[in-house]
Amino acid sequence: MSAKIKIITGNDLRTGDVIWWTGEGWSRHVDNAVAVDHDADAIIARENARQVVTDTHVIDAFAADGTVRPAHIKDRIRALGPTVRLDLSLKPADPQAGNWVI
């Protein structure tokens, strides 16, 4: 069963890396993203104020069996990295990554 959730994403201000809100901080792996609710705006405001993340926003996703999959293909590719350069994507660190993009 997968549950429809909302998660927060953004980019690391310094490196530009795509990052996901884990409830405590930011992760580079989408699986570490946690569901947010009415608290999203407050989290974004607080994190933006720390000036370490940029372009923070909420997206739709599905959670199932400890994995998180963005609902839209654009966000799934954002989570993985370029599908034409898997060497530069999450895949080297997580061989399962990429099986869920399309």
Residues near other proteins, by CB under 8 A: 11, 13-18, 48, 50-51, 54-55, 71-74, 77-78, 81-85, 88, 102
Q: How far is the CB of 16 from other proteins (least distance, A)?
A: 4
Between residues 93 and 102, which has the closer beta carbon with respect to other proteins?
102
* Nearer of residues 35 and 77 to other proteins, judged by Cβ: 77
Q: Give me the least distance between CB of 89 and other proteins, in Å please.
A: 9
Token readout for 72 is 């839209």
DSSP-assigned states of every residue in 31-87: GG---B-TTHHHHHHHHHHTTSEEEEEEEEEEEETTEEEESSHHHHHHHH--TT-GG
Q: Which is nearer to other proteins, 39 or 55 (CB)?
A: 55
Tell me the longest C-alpha to C-alpha distance in the chain.
37
